Amino acid sequence: MTPRKRSNLLVSALLVAGDAAFVFIGLHLAYQVRFGLFPLLPGRGETVPELIRYLRVYPVATFVMLLCFKSFGLYRRQWSLLTSSEPLRVLKGTVTGLVVLILLAFVYKQRDFEYSAGVVLLSVPCVAIPVSVFRKLMSRFEAWYFARAGLTRRLLVIGTGAKAKKLISSIQNAPQLCYGVVGVISGSPQPQMKELLGCPILGDLENIGSFLKRDFVDEVILCIPSLDHETKSKIIVECEKELIDFRLIPDMYEILTANLEVMNLDGVPLMGLKALPLDNPWNRLIKRVMDVVGSSIGLTLSAPIMLVLAILIKRSSPGSVFYRQERCGEDGKCFYLYKLRTMKNNAEAATGPVMTAKDDPRVTRIGAFLRKTNLDELTQFYNVLRGDMSLVGPRPERPYFIEQFKNGIPRYMTRHMVKSGITGWAQVHGLRQNTSFEERVKYDIYYMENWSLLLDLRILAMTLFTKKDVYA
């Protein structure tokens, strides 16, 4: 995970914690205002309800309120920081949460507890106002923190027209985005200007490839809607190879026909690929919890099996029991994948990196059994526990082969936008190392775009109970 993604997760965690604290405080403030400032009506025998009864409800109410905030998109960061509707969405989330709580109170009635309508009404301003103020302060803190940590997102703008000027001006006036324009690429062969609103013009579309490097730019925005589709496709492919995010200002036809996400930046429409489900910090947290729990259980249950297999591997051929190999994971970051050794020692010493094939002569007798039963993968629970991998995701590949595949297989590098997995959607459908890489990419992208906890559980079940030949 990149430092920026880690920081985004940190900010999201602070937002959740802060929202929870201010919701809890707001609910208690509503109680104090209702029964402290407004006297009870005389002659009705009313008494002030015990505070402890309300305190028991506050944790549940806070949790429900946070879920409602999430449903209104209050934990989506970056471009959503520009919108001025955040206080309105906080208000909607607060009202929705209170309505849900009232319905729950009717469904699960407690004989010893009756909520006050006055407390419920006062909870709206007592929760919405402090949460909105807190979020305003958090946006300023986020901008300061990202700038101080050197995590400002480096943006390359393509185009020098009115739309490009509007975009750059809007970004310069929105420091909470933590964007920095590193340069501009002109659409004309011979740029007439040397800079645009203080941003240097680096060249034209003919030499754009030299600037699309991950160590120079994090995101590209195309501001020439009339650019031909062939050139657009070329830029998108080049960005994908380097795991650079791509957005564009669309023309009217693209807005009406594209099944993409359209955002608004101060009146400038921006089109980009829809965010993946695992870009959501909540979903990442859920998946990580499942990984930690699953890998811990997996290591515990498989320890006796690995001990027996280690003895068999040692007796079958000389060499170490475990095999460590460099693989490429999330964001293109390399890590060492651990497996039980299935080949002869130093099998690639003479040939260099070579894909495994069926009936590979380098595979030992016990190694063939391990590959057929997937038992050589048991040690990867350790990679999952460390955070290098997930239980479910696209299978990681070696950097040597990635350099070959990324230029010949469309969208191949997209697989590296999520954590690699021990098993995946492609693998449970029989797409292993001896099958079409193009097909595997299609299945991997489908998984990424349609991720859910239920899909992960389904894949794990298919892995355990579906028998398939393996040559990984």
Dump pLDDT digits (tens) for 191-234.
Answer: 678 889 999 998 888 888 888 877 789 899 999 988 888 888 88
pLDDT category of residue 469 using cuts at 50, 70 and 90: very low
pLDDT category of residue 472 using cuts at 50, 70 and 90: very low
Query: Any residues with CB less than 8 A from the CB of 275 and at least 6 apart, and which?
Result: 76, 261
**Residue 471 lies inside a defined structural domain of this protein:** no
408 and 336 inside one domain = yes
Dig out the tokens for 42 from the structure: 């005389």
pLDDT of residue 347: 66
**What is the distance between the alpha carbons of residues 85 and 88, in angstroms, rounded to a whole number?**
5
Residue-wise pLDDT for 236-255, tens only, equals 888 888 888 898 887 655 55
**What is the distance between the alpha carbons of residues 75 and 70, in angstroms, rounded to a whole number?**
6
325 and 234 inside one domain = no
Return the exposure string of 175-214: e unless at least 16 CB atoms fall within 10 Å of the residue's CB, then b: bbbbbebbbbbbbeeebeeeebeebebbbbbeebeebbee
| 353 against 179, higher pLDDT | 179
**What is the distance between the alpha carbons of residues 284 and 444, in angstroms, rounded to a whole number?**
17
Query: Any residues with CB less than 8 A from the CB of 349 and at least 6 apart, and which?
Result: none
98-112, 149-163, 362-376, range with the lowest pLDDT: 98-112
pLDDT category of residue 358 using cuts at 50, 70 and 90: low
pLDDT of residue 84: 53
**Residue 72 lies inside a defined structural domain of this protein:** yes
46 and 125 inside one domain = yes
**Residue 335 lies inside a defined structural domain of this protein:** yes
Per mean pLDDT, which of 213-217, 319-323, 408-412, 444-448 is the most reliable? 444-448
| 452 against 176, higher pLDDT | 452
22 and 125 inside one domain = yes
Residue bearing tokens 């393996």? 470
141 and 215 inside one domain = no
226 and 334 inside one domain = no
For the segment 308-315, the average pLDDT, to the nearest whole number, is 89
157 and 270 inside one domain = yes
48 and 184 inside one domain = no
128 and 223 inside one domain = no
Where on the phi/psi map is residue 150: left (φ > 0), alpha (ψ -120 to 50), or beta?
Answer: left
**Residue 355 lies inside a defined structural domain of this protein:** yes
pLDDT category of residue 471 using cuts at 50, 70 and 90: very low
160 and 250 inside one domain = yes
**What is the distance between the alpha carbons of residues 426 and 396, in angstroms, rounded to a whole number?**
12
| 302 against 406, higher pLDDT | 302
pLDDT of residue 255: 54
Asked which of 256, 275, 294 is the last residue of a domain, the reply is 275
Spatial contact of 15 and 78, defined as CB atoms under 8 Å apart: no
Q: Is the pLDDT reported for residue 110 higher than 80?
A: no
154-168, 258-272, 297-311, 324-338, range with the lowest pLDDT: 258-272
pLDDT of residue 227: 86
Q: Is the pLDDT reported for residue 266 higher than 70?
A: no
Residue bearing tokens 């997995």? 421
Dig out the tokens for 346 from the structure: 């130093």
346 and 208 inside one domain = no
Q: In terms of Cα–Cα distance, which of 383, 398, 393, 392 is closest to 472?
A: 398
Percent of the chain whose predicted confidence (pLDDT) is above 70: 84
Asked which of 120, 148, 176 is the last residue of a domain, the reply is 148
301 and 228 inside one domain = no
53-62, 129-138, 269-278, 448-457, range with the lowest pLDDT: 269-278
Rounded to 5°, angle at Cα 135 from 124 and 16: 85
Total domain count for the chain? 3
Q: Is the pLDDT reported for residue 111 higher than 60?
A: no
For the segment 390-402, the average pLDDT, to the nearest whole number, is 92
**Residue 472 lies inside a defined structural domain of this protein:** no
Q: In terms of Cα–Cα distance, which of 56, 55, 87 is closest to 69?
A: 87
Spatial contact of 231 and 135, defined as CB atoms under 8 Å apart: no
| 470 against 270, higher pLDDT | 270
Say how far residue 29 (Cα) sits from the centre of its chain: 36
- 465-471 long-range CB contacts below 8 Å, 24 or more apart? 466/428, 468/427, 468/428, 468/430, 468/432, 469/372, 469/432, 470/371, 470/372, 470/374, 470/432, 471/356, 471/357, 471/358, 471/360, 471/371, 471/432, 471/433, 471/434
For the segment 126-139, the average pLDDT, to the nearest whole number, is 92
**Residue 445 lies inside a defined structural domain of this protein:** yes
Q: In terms of Cα–Cα distance, which of 224, 229, 173, 233 is closest to 198?
A: 173
**Residue 298 lies inside a defined structural domain of this protein:** yes
pLDDT of residue 392: 95
Q: What is the CATH number of the domain that holds 244?
A: 3.40.50.720
For the segment 420-439, the average pLDDT, to the nearest whole number, is 83
Q: Chain-wide mean pLDDT for the chain?
A: 82
Is 451 buried (19+), middle (13-18) or exposed (0-12) by CB count in 10 A?
buried
Asked which of 133, 148, 163 is the last residue of a domain, the reply is 148
**Residue 470 lies inside a defined structural domain of this protein:** no
Q: In terms of Cα–Cα distance, which of 436, 430, 388, 432 is closest to 412?
A: 436
The boundaries of the domain holding residue 128 are 3-148
Q: Is the pLDDT reported for residue 264 higher than 80?
A: no
**DSSP letter, residue 275:** P
